[in-house]
RNA sequence: GCGGCCGUAGUGUAGUGGCCCAGCACAUAAGCCUGCCACGCUUGUAACCCGGGUUCAAAUCCCGGCGGCCGCACCA
């Protein structure tokens, strides 16, 4: 059932230019996908909505744009060289690969996470651990780092890596941005861009990628104010939909109660409310398909003091899947870079010196994009339609002449040009009028405008709604206003 | 990365050694028709994943690569 839906969505996605496999004519490479014309338009609309929503939460939240390639030292400072890798061991007999640390933990209960590869090999020997599959002898433990490595400059030049997350750009630019933003806190540094992870074996089609897009906002603040937010009272009564560790299912409780019950700072909870608003109001995710899920200690990174994932229930992926996260990272990142770079990350505000803490709002753009496809897709008896929120639809409005006759074509072209200067507009005069409506339904265009012979007489056109298929006659002069107000709803 | 199955126009498929310089449906282009919701007519564009081998002959058999699906593993 849900695989069928994936196939149907992929069919439209490929045929109409939402997404397609990268390097396709050479056979493609697993984990790499590209956005076509419609996909690019929609991705941009998602990103712009994200910018609009999150960067306006505070005067001091801004977007910057940082390098995709950074030298090795950055990732020493961030901890990625040490921690962003898996210790693997292969069976010498059946070649099966295993995570060495998991084998050790399973065998003797020891926490192997911080062991070196040598220590793990010793432990495997001492505990006499064998291949769980065939009982064969296990080979040497090797670290597999998930970052793409490259050489900067000619041979023997500096070693660098493609960034595995956008966040590091914000951390290593913090010193300068703090100055630029005139030595105040909190400041927010947003980055929207590409990141790269050399996944061992990416699966789930578009959902686990080796090159993907993130939209992240790192908020730097004074840890003493973690339980404060000037606008908290405005949101204290907003019900949050959450799945805490101590509950079996989603529950709703007001932001105020949530803060008291789970002892999470107001600064954090305020941003949760704003994230939920983004999903429910801007992206129109149905409330019952949205939740915050608390991660167990085992699931979350050791430096995340508070960590909730934002999940959307997607039929194509068989349930709730992570699309974003909100992480209280403490001073972990700035402290790490301070130590490595020998640059002081400490700030001095009114005589108080401290390393700022970080609240990270992290969004997987591509996963959010897929969620839009999943939630909006509908196969009806007579048509296939994406019911995107009008603001997210790649094409906002399409203009047709009712018939392929000269005076109608002329008028329709004129209206097309007017609308096209304001919004993403399509024009189509191929096939029957019904066929053209279906074509637009298939790519989720919320509005269609048809020019007929009455238009030439009285200046009215029909405005057709994607979801209801109803039409309304609208005066040419109020057309733009009518469309804009419907998009805004 | 391992094991199983698989890879034909944009999409879905027919074809299991010569009948295929590959058939069909939908989509698409040009035109006709059409006075508001695909499914009417004409003509057209367009495919055997890549490389090697076997054979008189390969979409079809064999080997390798790439990719996909499922299971195992992995997802700081």
pLDDT tens, per residue, chain A with 489 residues: 356 788 889 889 989 999 988 888 887 888 889 999 999 999 999 999 999 999 999 999 999 999 999 999 999 999 988 878 777 777 666 566 677 777 777 677 666 666 777 777 888 877 777 766 666 677 777 777 888 888 888 766 788 999 999 999 999 999 999 999 999 999 999 999 999 998 877 766 788 888 999 999 999 999 999 999 999 999 999 999 999 999 989 999 999 999 999 999 999 999 999 999 999 999 999 999 999 999 988 778 888 899 999 999 998 888 899 999 999 999 999 999 999 999 999 999 999 999 999 999 999 999 999 999 999 999 988 899 999 999 999 999 999 999 999 999 999 999 999 999 999 999 999 989 999 999 999 999 999 999 999 999 999 999 999 999 999 999 999 999 999 999 998
Would you say A68 and A151 are in contact if contact means Cβ atoms under 8 Å apart? no
Neighbours of A44 (CB within 10 A): 13
Q: Kindly report the CA angle at A245 between A243 and A247, in degrees rounded to 5?
A: 60
pLDDT at A1: 38
Query: Does A456 contact strand B, using a CB cutoff of 7 Å?
Result: no
Query: Does A14 contact strand B, using a CB cutoff of 7 Å?
Result: yes
Instruction: Quote the DSSP letter at residue A289.
Output: G
For residues A225 and A357, membership in a common domain is answered with: yes
Query: Cα-Cα-Cα-Cα dihedral of A76, A334, A61, A59, to 10°?
Result: -160
H or E stretch covering A377: strand A377-379
For residues A274 and A225, membership in a common domain is answered with: yes
Query: Does A7 contact strand B, using a CB cutoff of 7 Å?
Result: yes
Domain membership of residue A386 (yes or no) is no
Cβ-based burial of A27 (10 A; exposed 0-12, middle 13-18, buried ≥19): exposed
Query: Does A364 contact strand B, using a CB cutoff of 7 Å?
Result: no
Query: Does A81 contact strand B, using a CB cutoff of 7 Å?
Result: no
For residues A240 and A99, membership in a common domain is answered with: no
Structural domain ending residue among the three candidates A314, A348, A376: A376
Query: Does A454 contact strand B, using a CB cutoff of 7 Å?
Result: yes
CA distance A489 to A485: 7
Q: Which nucleotides of B are covered by protein (CB under 7 A)?
A: 1-2, 7, 10-12, 27-30, 32-40, 49-50, 65-70, 72-76
For residue A142, list its beta bridge partners.
A88
- Residue A103's CATH number: 3.30.40.230
Structural domain ending residue among the three candidates A376, A409, A430: A376
Strand B-proximal residues of A, range 312-341, CB below 7 A, are none
Measured from Cα to the C1' atom, the residue closest to B2 is: A96
Domain membership of residue A382 (yes or no) is no
CA distance A209 to A40: 17
Domain membership of residue A383 (yes or no) is no
Query: Does A165 contact strand B, using a CB cutoff of 7 Å?
Result: yes
CA nearest to A395, candidates A361, A427, A370: A427
Query: Does A145 contact strand B, using a CB cutoff of 7 Å?
Result: no
pLDDT at A359: 97
Q: How far is the CA of A316 from the C1' of B7 (A)?
A: 23
For residues A411 and A335, membership in a common domain is answered with: no
For residues A64 and A91, membership in a common domain is answered with: no
Alpha helices in A306-405 (DSSP H): 332-341, 365-376
- Residue A399's CATH number: 3.40.50.800
For residues A37 and A97, membership in a common domain is answered with: no
Nearest nt by C1' to A79 Cα? B76
Query: Does A203 contact strand B, using a CB cutoff of 7 Å?
Result: yes
Task: Give the count of domains, chain A.
Answer: 3
For residues A172 and A140, membership in a common domain is answered with: no
For residues A172 and A301, membership in a common domain is answered with: yes
A439: three-class secondary structure by DSSP: helix
Measured from Cα to the C1' atom, the residue closest to B10 is: A15
Q: How far is the CA of A292 from the C1' of B43 (A)?
A: 58
pLDDT at A97: 67
Domain membership of residue A388 (yes or no) is no
Strand B-proximal residues of A, range 401-430, CB below 7 A, are 402-405, 430
Query: Does A24 contact strand B, using a CB cutoff of 7 Å?
Result: no
Domain membership of residue A219 (yes or no) is yes
Place of tokens 């196939």: A7
For residues A184 and A311, membership in a common domain is answered with: yes
Q: How far is the CA of A7 from the C1' of B6 (A)?
A: 16
Domain membership of residue A38 (yes or no) is yes
Query: Does A459 contact strand B, using a CB cutoff of 7 Å?
Result: no
For residues A132 and A175, membership in a common domain is answered with: no
Structural domain ending residue among the three candidates A145, A162, A181: A145
Would you say A120 and A87 are in contact if contact means Cβ atoms under 8 Å apart? yes
For residue A472, list its beta bridge partners.
A463
For residue A61, list its beta bridge partners.
A188
> Which residue segment(s) compose the domain that A404 sits in?
395-488
Q: How far is the CA of A142 from the C1' of B58 (A)?
A: 44
CA distance A133 to A126: 19
Residue A40: CB partners within 8 Å, gap ≥ 6?
none
Strand B-proximal residues of A, range 110-139, CB below 7 A, are 133
Query: Does A16 contact strand B, using a CB cutoff of 7 Å?
Result: no
CA distance A240 to A336: 34
Report ipTM (2 d.p.): 0.89
Measured from Cα to the C1' atom, the residue closest to B75 is: A199
DSSP A197-208: ---SS--TTTTS
Domain membership of residue A384 (yes or no) is no
CA distance A49 to A337: 31
- Residue A323's CATH number: 3.30.930.10
Domain membership of residue A278 (yes or no) is yes
CA distance A482 to A446: 13
CA nearest to A146, candidates A198, A186, A185: A198
For residues A322 and A257, membership in a common domain is answered with: yes
For residues A141 and A156, membership in a common domain is answered with: no
Nearest nt by C1' to A82 Cα? B76
Query: Does A241 contact strand B, using a CB cutoff of 7 Å?
Result: no
């Amino acid at each position: 059932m849900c695989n069928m839906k994936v196939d149907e969505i992929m069919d439209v996605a490929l045929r109409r230019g939402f997404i397609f496999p990268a390097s396709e004519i050479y056979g493609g490479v697993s984990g790499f996908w590209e956005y076509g014309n419609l996909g690019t338009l929609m991705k941009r609309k998602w990103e712009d909505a994200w910018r609009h929503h999150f960067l306006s939460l505070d005067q001091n939240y801004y977007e910057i744009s940082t390098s995709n390639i950074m030298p090795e030292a950055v990732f020493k400072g961030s901890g990625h060289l040490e921690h962003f890798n898996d210790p693997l061991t292969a069976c010498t007999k059946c070649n099966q690969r295993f995570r060495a640390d998991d084998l050790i933990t399973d065998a003797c209960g020891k926490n192997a996470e911080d062991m070196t590869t040598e220590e793990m090999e010793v432990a495997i020997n001492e505990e006499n651990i064998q291949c769980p599959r065939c009982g064969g002898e296990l080979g040497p433990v090797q670290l597999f780092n998930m970052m793409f490595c490259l050489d900067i400059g000619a041979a023997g030049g500096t070693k660098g890596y493609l960034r595995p997350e956008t966040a590091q750009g914000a951390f290593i630019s913090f010193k300068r941005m703090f100055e630029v933003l005139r030595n105040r806190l909190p400041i927010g540094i947003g980055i929207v861009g590409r990141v790269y992870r050399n996944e061992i074996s990416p699966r789930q089609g578009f959902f686990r990628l080796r090159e993907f897009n993130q939209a992240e906002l790192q908020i730097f603040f004074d840890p003493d104010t973690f339980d404060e937010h000037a606008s908290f009272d405005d949101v204290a009564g907003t019900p949050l939909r959450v799945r805490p560790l101590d509950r079996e299912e989603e529950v709703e409780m007001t932001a105020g109660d949530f803060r008291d019950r789970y002892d999470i700072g107001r600064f954090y909870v305020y941003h949760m409310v704003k994230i939920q608003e983004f999903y429910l109001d801007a992206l129109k995710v149905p409330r019952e398909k949205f939740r915050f899920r608390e991660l167990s200690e085992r699931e979350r990174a050791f430096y995340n003091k508070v960590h909730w994932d934002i999940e959307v229930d997607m039929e194509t992926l068989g349930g709730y899947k992570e699309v974003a996260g909100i992480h209280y990272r403490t001073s972990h990142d700035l402290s790490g870079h301070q130590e490595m770079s020998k640059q002081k990350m400490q700030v001095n505000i009114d005589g108080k010196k401290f390393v700022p803490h970080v609240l990270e709002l992290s969004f997987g753009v591509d996963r959010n994009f897929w969620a839009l496809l999943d939630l909006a897709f509908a196969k009806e008896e007579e048509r296939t339609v994406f019911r995107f929120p009008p603001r997210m639809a790649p094409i906002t409005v399409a203009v047709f002449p009712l018939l392929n006759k000269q005076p109608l074509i002329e008028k329709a072209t004129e209206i097309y040009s007017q609308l096209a200067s304001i919004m993403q507009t399509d024009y189509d005069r191929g096939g029957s009028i019904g066929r053209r409506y279906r074509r637009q339904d298939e790519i989720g265009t919320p509005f269609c405008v048809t020019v007929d012979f009455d238009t030439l007489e009285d200046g009215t056109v029909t405005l057709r709604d994607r979801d209801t298929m109803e039409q309304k006659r609208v005066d040419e002069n109020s057309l733009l206003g009518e469309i804009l107000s419907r998009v805004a709803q």
